[in-house]
Amino acid sequence: MNKRPLILVTNDDGITAPGLRTLIEVMKTIGDVVVVAPDSPQSAMGHAITVNSTLYVEEVQIDPDGSIEYSCSGTPADCVKLAVKQVLKRRPDLCVSGINHGSNSSINIIYSGTMSAAIEAGIEGIPAIGFSLCDYKWSANFEACKDFVKTITKNVLQHGLPKGVVLNVNIPNLPKNDIKGIKICRQAKANWEEEFDKRTNPNGRDYYWLAGKFVNLDQGDDTDIWALENGYVAVVPAQFDLTAHHFIDNLKTWNLND
Protein backbone atom coordinates (compact mmCIF):
# COMPACT_ATOMS: atom_id res chain seq x y z
CA MET A 1 0.00 0.00 0.00
CA ASN A 2 1.32 3.43 -0.93
CA LYS A 3 2.03 5.75 1.98
CA ARG A 4 -0.04 8.91 2.11
CA PRO A 5 2.05 11.99 1.28
CA LEU A 6 3.12 14.26 4.13
CA ILE A 7 1.94 17.81 3.42
CA LEU A 8 3.19 20.88 5.25
CA VAL A 9 0.54 23.62 5.34
CA THR A 10 1.30 27.26 6.15
CA ASN A 11 0.21 30.80 5.25
CA ASP A 12 0.74 34.48 5.99
CA ASP A 13 -2.73 35.52 7.20
CA GLY A 14 -2.37 33.66 10.49
CA ILE A 15 -3.32 30.24 11.79
CA THR A 16 -7.01 31.10 12.29
CA ALA A 17 -7.52 32.59 8.81
CA PRO A 18 -10.47 31.10 6.86
CA GLY A 19 -8.27 30.60 3.80
CA LEU A 20 -5.85 28.43 5.74
CA ARG A 21 -8.69 26.44 7.31
CA THR A 22 -10.02 25.72 3.79
CA LEU A 23 -6.59 24.65 2.57
CA ILE A 24 -6.19 22.30 5.55
CA GLU A 25 -9.62 20.78 4.81
CA VAL A 26 -8.66 20.04 1.20
CA MET A 27 -5.19 18.73 2.05
CA LYS A 28 -6.60 16.25 4.59
CA THR A 29 -8.39 14.52 1.68
CA ILE A 30 -5.04 14.05 -0.07
CA GLY A 31 -2.44 13.27 2.58
CA ASP A 32 -1.25 13.53 6.16
CA VAL A 33 -1.19 17.18 7.17
CA VAL A 34 1.08 19.12 9.50
CA VAL A 35 0.22 22.79 10.03
CA VAL A 36 2.88 25.32 11.04
CA ALA A 37 1.54 28.84 10.58
CA PRO A 38 2.06 32.34 12.01
CA ASP A 39 0.23 33.20 15.22
CA SER A 40 -0.81 36.56 13.73
CA PRO A 41 -1.16 38.10 10.24
CA GLN A 42 2.13 38.45 8.36
CA SER A 43 0.92 39.81 5.01
CA ALA A 44 3.45 41.58 2.75
CA MET A 45 6.36 40.31 4.84
CA GLY A 46 8.16 39.12 1.74
CA HIS A 47 10.96 36.72 2.59
CA ALA A 48 11.73 38.21 5.99
CA ILE A 49 13.19 35.91 8.63
CA THR A 50 13.68 36.42 12.35
CA VAL A 51 17.32 36.89 13.35
CA ASN A 52 17.34 39.42 16.20
CA SER A 53 14.70 38.00 18.51
CA THR A 54 13.47 34.65 19.80
CA LEU A 55 11.03 32.38 18.02
CA TYR A 56 8.26 30.44 19.72
CA VAL A 57 6.24 27.48 18.50
CA GLU A 58 3.16 26.34 20.42
CA GLU A 59 0.87 23.37 19.93
CA VAL A 60 -2.74 24.43 19.36
CA GLN A 61 -6.04 22.71 18.60
CA ILE A 62 -8.38 24.61 16.29
CA ASP A 63 -10.29 22.05 14.20
CA PRO A 64 -13.09 20.05 15.87
CA ASP A 65 -11.25 16.79 15.16
CA GLY A 66 -8.70 17.78 17.80
CA SER A 67 -5.70 17.54 15.49
CA ILE A 68 -2.52 19.21 16.71
CA GLU A 69 -1.23 22.24 14.82
CA TYR A 70 1.71 24.53 15.48
CA SER A 71 1.42 28.28 15.94
CA CYS A 72 4.67 30.19 15.29
CA SER A 73 5.62 33.68 16.44
CA GLY A 74 7.69 34.28 13.29
CA THR A 75 7.22 35.01 9.62
CA PRO A 76 5.96 32.60 6.94
CA ALA A 77 9.55 31.79 5.96
CA ASP A 78 10.34 31.15 9.64
CA CYS A 79 7.41 28.73 9.79
CA VAL A 80 8.81 26.62 6.97
CA LYS A 81 12.34 26.66 8.36
CA LEU A 82 11.15 25.57 11.81
CA ALA A 83 8.81 22.97 10.37
CA VAL A 84 11.57 21.32 8.35
CA LYS A 85 14.32 21.56 10.97
CA GLN A 86 12.41 21.07 14.23
CA VAL A 87 8.75 20.09 14.01
CA LEU A 88 8.46 17.42 11.33
CA LYS A 89 9.58 13.88 11.96
CA ARG A 90 10.38 13.39 8.29
CA ARG A 91 10.80 15.54 5.22
CA PRO A 92 7.46 16.63 3.73
CA ASP A 93 6.50 15.52 0.24
CA LEU A 94 4.86 18.87 -0.44
CA CYS A 95 4.41 22.33 1.06
CA VAL A 96 1.28 24.37 0.35
CA SER A 97 0.82 27.96 1.43
CA GLY A 98 -2.44 29.93 1.60
CA ILE A 99 -5.16 30.18 0.66
CA ASN A 100 -4.24 33.85 0.76
CA HIS A 101 -6.92 36.50 1.22
CA GLY A 102 -6.05 38.59 -1.86
CA SER A 103 -4.13 38.38 -5.11
CA ASN A 104 -0.46 37.49 -5.36
CA SER A 105 -0.29 37.84 -9.13
CA SER A 106 2.36 39.75 -11.06
CA ILE A 107 4.77 41.91 -8.99
CA ASN A 108 2.86 41.07 -5.81
CA ILE A 109 4.84 37.83 -5.59
CA ILE A 110 7.85 39.90 -4.46
CA TYR A 111 6.04 41.24 -1.40
CA SER A 112 3.96 38.17 -0.62
CA GLY A 113 4.36 36.30 2.64
CA THR A 114 2.29 33.48 1.15
CA MET A 115 4.73 32.98 -1.69
CA SER A 116 7.79 33.49 0.52
CA ALA A 117 6.74 30.38 2.45
CA ALA A 118 6.41 28.40 -0.79
CA ILE A 119 9.75 29.72 -2.02
CA GLU A 120 11.45 28.82 1.27
CA ALA A 121 10.17 25.28 0.84
CA GLY A 122 11.51 25.30 -2.70
CA ILE A 123 14.92 26.38 -1.42
CA GLU A 124 14.80 23.32 0.83
CA GLY A 125 14.13 21.17 -2.23
CA ILE A 126 10.48 20.55 -1.33
CA PRO A 127 7.82 20.87 -4.09
CA ALA A 128 5.69 23.85 -3.15
CA ILE A 129 2.57 25.77 -4.18
CA GLY A 130 1.23 29.13 -3.08
CA PHE A 131 -2.56 29.56 -3.42
CA SER A 132 -4.37 32.91 -3.41
CA LEU A 133 -7.97 34.00 -3.89
CA CYS A 134 -8.51 37.46 -5.35
CA ASP A 135 -10.68 38.59 -2.46
CA TYR A 136 -9.11 40.52 0.42
CA LYS A 137 -12.08 40.19 2.77
CA TRP A 138 -11.65 38.07 5.90
CA SER A 139 -15.13 36.72 5.16
CA ALA A 140 -14.16 35.64 1.62
CA ASN A 141 -15.91 32.54 0.28
CA PHE A 142 -13.30 29.89 -0.56
CA GLU A 143 -15.76 27.23 -1.74
CA ALA A 144 -14.96 27.77 -5.42
CA CYS A 145 -11.26 27.23 -4.74
CA LYS A 146 -11.47 23.69 -3.40
CA ASP A 147 -11.60 21.63 -6.60
CA PHE A 148 -8.89 23.70 -8.29
CA VAL A 149 -6.63 23.44 -5.25
CA LYS A 150 -7.14 19.68 -5.15
CA THR A 151 -6.50 19.22 -8.88
CA ILE A 152 -3.29 21.27 -8.92
CA THR A 153 -1.99 19.65 -5.73
CA LYS A 154 -2.57 16.12 -7.01
CA ASN A 155 -0.79 16.95 -10.26
CA VAL A 156 2.24 18.32 -8.42
CA LEU A 157 2.40 15.19 -6.27
CA GLN A 158 2.13 13.02 -9.39
CA HIS A 159 4.55 14.87 -11.66
CA GLY A 160 6.84 16.73 -9.25
CA LEU A 161 8.43 20.11 -9.92
CA PRO A 162 11.89 20.95 -11.27
CA LYS A 163 14.50 21.92 -8.72
CA GLY A 164 14.19 25.62 -7.91
CA VAL A 165 10.63 25.97 -9.26
CA VAL A 166 7.45 26.60 -7.26
CA LEU A 167 3.91 27.33 -8.43
CA ASN A 168 2.11 30.63 -7.86
CA VAL A 169 -1.63 29.96 -8.17
CA ASN A 170 -4.18 32.79 -8.19
CA ILE A 171 -7.92 32.12 -8.30
CA PRO A 172 -10.42 34.74 -9.51
CA ASN A 173 -13.13 35.88 -7.13
CA LEU A 174 -15.98 34.28 -9.05
CA PRO A 175 -18.62 31.60 -8.43
CA LYS A 176 -17.27 28.17 -9.29
CA ASN A 177 -19.46 27.78 -12.38
CA ASP A 178 -18.16 31.08 -13.77
CA ILE A 179 -14.49 30.06 -13.61
CA LYS A 180 -13.54 28.90 -17.10
CA GLY A 181 -10.61 26.66 -16.17
CA ILE A 182 -6.88 26.78 -15.47
CA LYS A 183 -4.34 28.73 -17.52
CA ILE A 184 -0.57 28.26 -17.40
CA CYS A 185 0.82 31.79 -17.52
CA ARG A 186 3.80 34.04 -17.19
CA GLN A 187 4.03 36.78 -14.60
CA ALA A 188 2.61 40.04 -15.93
CA LYS A 189 4.77 43.17 -16.01
CA ALA A 190 3.05 45.51 -13.58
CA ASN A 191 3.83 47.67 -10.59
CA TRP A 192 2.34 49.79 -7.87
CA GLU A 193 2.19 53.56 -8.27
CA GLU A 194 2.59 54.32 -4.60
CA GLU A 195 1.67 57.36 -2.58
CA PHE A 196 2.12 58.17 1.09
CA ASP A 197 -0.68 59.89 2.94
CA LYS A 198 1.07 62.17 5.44
CA ARG A 199 -0.75 62.93 8.68
CA THR A 200 0.07 64.33 12.11
CA ASN A 201 -0.84 62.67 15.38
CA PRO A 202 -2.18 64.54 18.46
CA ASN A 203 1.37 64.87 19.77
CA GLY A 204 2.47 66.71 16.63
CA ARG A 205 4.47 63.83 15.17
CA ASP A 206 4.15 63.14 11.46
CA TYR A 207 3.19 59.66 10.28
CA TYR A 208 2.38 58.05 6.93
CA TRP A 209 -0.13 55.63 5.42
CA LEU A 210 0.95 53.76 2.31
CA ALA A 211 -1.55 54.10 -0.55
CA GLY A 212 -1.49 53.80 -4.32
CA LYS A 213 -2.86 51.90 -7.28
CA PHE A 214 -1.88 48.77 -9.16
CA VAL A 215 -0.93 49.43 -12.80
CA ASN A 216 -0.77 46.66 -15.39
CA LEU A 217 1.90 47.51 -17.98
CA ASP A 218 1.49 44.27 -19.90
CA GLN A 219 -1.02 43.80 -22.73
CA GLY A 220 -0.14 40.16 -23.36
CA ASP A 221 -2.84 37.49 -23.36
CA ASP A 222 -0.52 34.92 -21.74
CA THR A 223 -0.13 36.60 -18.36
CA ASP A 224 -1.58 35.90 -14.94
CA ILE A 225 -3.38 39.25 -14.92
CA TRP A 226 -5.06 38.48 -18.28
CA ALA A 227 -6.11 35.04 -17.07
CA LEU A 228 -7.66 36.39 -13.87
CA GLU A 229 -9.44 39.23 -15.67
CA ASN A 230 -10.88 36.70 -18.11
CA GLY A 231 -12.16 34.22 -15.55
CA TYR A 232 -9.33 31.69 -15.36
CA VAL A 233 -7.23 30.31 -12.52
CA ALA A 234 -3.68 31.54 -13.19
CA VAL A 235 -0.75 29.18 -12.60
CA VAL A 236 2.73 30.67 -12.90
CA PRO A 237 5.87 28.56 -12.45
CA ALA A 238 8.20 30.80 -10.45
CA GLN A 239 11.86 30.51 -9.53
CA PHE A 240 13.99 32.01 -6.78
CA ASP A 241 17.11 32.35 -8.93
CA LEU A 242 17.07 36.13 -9.50
CA THR A 243 20.03 36.14 -11.87
CA ALA A 244 19.42 38.22 -15.01
CA HIS A 245 20.99 35.56 -17.23
CA HIS A 246 20.32 37.54 -20.42
CA PHE A 247 22.56 40.37 -19.20
CA ILE A 248 25.61 38.36 -18.14
CA ASP A 249 27.40 38.46 -21.52
CA ASN A 250 26.78 42.20 -21.85
CA LEU A 251 28.06 42.83 -18.33
CA LYS A 252 31.25 40.94 -19.12
CA THR A 253 32.12 43.60 -21.74
CA TRP A 254 32.37 46.31 -19.08
CA ASN A 255 35.81 47.46 -17.95
CA LEU A 256 35.35 46.41 -14.35
CA ASN A 257 38.93 45.28 -13.70
CA ASP A 258 40.77 48.33 -15.11
* Secondary structure class of 170 (helix, strand, coil): strand
Least reliable range by pLDDT among 18-27, 90-99, 199-208: 199-208
What is the secondary structure of 177-224 as a DSSP string? GG--EEEE-B---EEEEEEEEEEE-TTS-EEEEEEEEEEE----SSBH
Which tens digits make up the pLDDT trace of 80-137?
999 999 999 999 999 999 999 999 999 999 999 999 999 999 999 999 999 999 999 9
Count of CA atoms in the C-beta half-sphere (13 A) of 35: 31
Q: What is the pLDDT of residue 47?
A: 83
The mean pLDDT of 41-45, rounded to a whole number, is 74
Q: How confident is the model at residue 1 (pLDDT cuts 50, 70, 90)?
A: very low
CA–CA dist 29, 150 (Å, integer):
9
Of the listed ranges 37-46, 109-118, 218-227, the least confidently predicted one is 37-46
CATH homologous superfamily, domain 6-188+219-252: Survival protein SurE-like phosphatase/nucleotidase (3.40.1210.10)
pTM of the entire predicted model: 0.91
With 80 as the cut, is the pLDDT of residue 16 above it? yes
Kindly report which listed range (33-42, 84-93, 96-105, 188-197) carries the lowest average pLDDT score: 188-197
**In contact, 240 and 164? CB cutoff 8 Å:** yes
